[in-house]
Structure 1
Amino acid sequence: MLELVNILRCQKLVQSPTSFCRLIRYLHKEPIPVAWKKPGIGWTKLNFDGSCKVGSGKASIGGVVRNHNAEFMLGYAESIGIANSTIAELTALRRGLELVLENGWNNDIWLEGDEKTLVDIIVRRRQVKCMEVQKHISHINSLLPGLNNCIVSHVYREGNRAADKFAKMGHQLDQPTIWTHSPPDEVLPIFHDDAQGIPIIRKKGI
């Protein structure tokens, strides 16, 4: 079962007759609090992210798996060479799915990323023209049937900070790295905030 939890509101706005005025109002909404949400009891949550350096084009990926108590289960990060943001995000999701399946966490899985377009492609099985993107999507689609009861959702980047941190750490790594017992120290403050449900204020118009 695949569900799009966060509706792509901007897309809905531009389809209405008064789209321009409504879009302006949307962009000037008050700042909103965004927090990482724990999965339900018995569920496992994978947050994933890709990171691309402006100028060099070098990309890295990262992600983190936590349980319903927000307890750390696994983290991963690696540099993937030259790639655009879409490829980085797809690679991050693909690697996360592989690790989830390898560890037998295939029941009640919540997959969450901060790239709306990617979530839309996966959930709605939207067609893409780029052959490289198609290849990654085909790989992801071949992994999804191995999951029992799966939710895919978008979250603003303020709610995806742990995965973002792992992805940025990937730039500094010479080889793929997986953490299984405890997360690196630099991620601990984010884990604490997430476990407590502490929100980060998302500035209006972003």
Structure 2
Amino acid sequence: MVCDAVKGVWKGLVPHRIEVFVWLAILGKINTRHKLASIGILPIDQDVCPLCSSCPESSDHLLLHCEVSRQLWGWWLNLWDLKWVFPKSLSEAFAQWKLIKKGKKFFVKVWAASFFIIVWTVWKERNIRIFQASSSTVKDLRDLVLLRMGWWISGWEEGFPYSPSDIQRNPWCLEWEGVSRAADPAIIKPSYIPWSPPIKNVLKWNVDASVVISNTCAAIGGVLRNHEGKFVCLFSTPIPYMEINCAEILAIHRAISISSYSSLTKSASLLLESDSSNAVMWCNNDNGGPWNMMYYLNFIRSCRKEMISIEITHKGRSSNFVADSLAKQGLRRQDEFIAWL
């Protein structure tokens, strides 16, 4: 029965560590508060789900039956006009999930990957609430599911022509039938300069800003990756309407601020890339820049000299599409979104 429960986990559709986590979750072996309380590591009165604060935190409750989790599962099912009676356990849910063969060959893979991505997203949100005293809305979690789907599809070598931001704007593009958009003469396929990883033991931020003059709104975004290209942190933040170069300064400031206040990154060597040559110049100089951004520039200059090892460089937007996507998402947000991955 154990072998049957986890059959189909090892598909290579998501990073291996996430397959391992889902495998353990299906077997009921992850360290939830319920498990820790049952073996005496936590007091019984601390066995409470950090998402809903109303039930013991078993793996089945947290990942399947908690109201936050149910909303995430329900949203995904509604996207594809499907109805599902939630089973009793995560192992039963996985067994049922594998039986659904909706759509073409590519979407079958998307569907299989979605189980892992939703479970992982709920678990990461759980840890953020416990260890960082922060939380995301269900809307933020939906965006993160679609972002992760886009990131990991890029490793399938399927020729999928849509970016993570395309998926967020139109999730139904995941029903792609294998015909490249480049075959459509009305669509010009963009040429991207590939993202280049930092050297070992260096973390790399890519940041960007988005300003919409017609709606007088602005936002910033950024993504932090290690030398293997693995995502470490990302943020997407609405900001007051301002000139684009000022917004780019704010994006650099936010990335450095997050790094300087996190125990995971405050002592790390950082490389930060922005597509604003003006913002990079002002941040690297000891003076100059917009008068209304002096508070942020002085903070950046102080961190650059005293607090952490950081190099700020200019890089074109074509190699920075993830940060660009996160900045554009921030235009639709009410509050800041930060996720450690």
TM-score interval for Structure 1 and Structure 2 normalised by the shorter chain: 0.5 to 0.7
Please give the secondary structure, in 1, of the residue aligned with 2:272: strand
1:125 equivalenced with 2:290 (yes/no): no
Measure, in 1, the Cα distance between the counterparts of 2:299 and 2:202.
24
Given that residues 284 and 301 in structure 2 are in contact (C-alpha distance below 8 angstroms), is that contact kept between their aligned partners in structure 1? no
2:192 touches 2:319 (CA, 8 Å); kept in 1? no
Q: Name the larger-Rg structure.
A: 2
Correspondence 1:175-190 to 2 at 5 A:
175-181=335-341
Partner of 1:110: 271
d(CA) in 1 for partners of 2:333, 2:325: 13
Select the structure with the greater relative contact order (CA < 8 A; seq sep ≥ 6). Answer: 1
Q: CA offsets, 1:98-156, max 9 Å, x none?
A: 1112223132210111001111112233523x3212222112223322113x2221111
| Partner SS state of residue 282, structure 2 | helix
For the residue of structure 2 that corresponds to 1:172, the secondary structure is coil
Match of 2:312 in 1: 152
Query: 2:201 matched to which residue of 1?
Result: 42
Taking the TM superposition and a 5 Å limit, the aligned residue runs for 1:1-206 are 34-104=193-263, 105=265, 106-128=267-289, 130-144=290-304, 145-148=306-309, 150-181=310-341
User: Residue 25 of structure 1 corresponds to which residue in structure 2?
Assistant: none
CA contact (8 A) 2:209 2:324 kept: yes
Determine the C-alpha separation between the residues in 1 that align with 2:256 and 2:333: 21
Q: Distance in 1 between matches of 2:197 and 2:236?
A: 22
Paired AA for residue 303 in structure 2: L
Q: Looking at secondary structure, tell me which structure has more helix per residue.
A: 2
Shift of 1:33: 6.0
Q: State the partner residue of 1:21.
A: none
Which amino acid in structure 1 is aligned with residue 257 of structure 2? E
CA contact (8 A) 2:210 2:220 kept: yes
Query: So what's the TM-score if we normalise by structure 2?
Result: 0.42
Cα distance in 2 for partners of 1:139, 1:85 equals 19
**Alpha-carbon spacing, 1:49–1:33, altered in 2? closer, same or farther (3 Å):** closer
SS at match of 2:280: helix
Provide the C-alpha distance between the structure 1 equivalents of 2:217 and 2:311, rounded to a whole number of angstroms.
30
Contact 1:36 1:160 in 2 (8 A): yes
Contact 1:57 / 1:84 at 8 angstroms: preserved in 2?
no
Partner of 1:16: none
> Hey, what does 2:137 align to over in structure 1?
none
Gaps of 5+ in 1: 1-31, 182-206
Please, what TM-score do these two structures have when normalized by structure 1? 0.67
When structure 1 is superposed on structure 2, of 134-143 and 39-48 the one drifting more is 134-143
Assess if the C-alpha contact under 8 Å between 1:44 and 1:108 holds in 2: yes
Give the partner amino acid of 1:49.
D
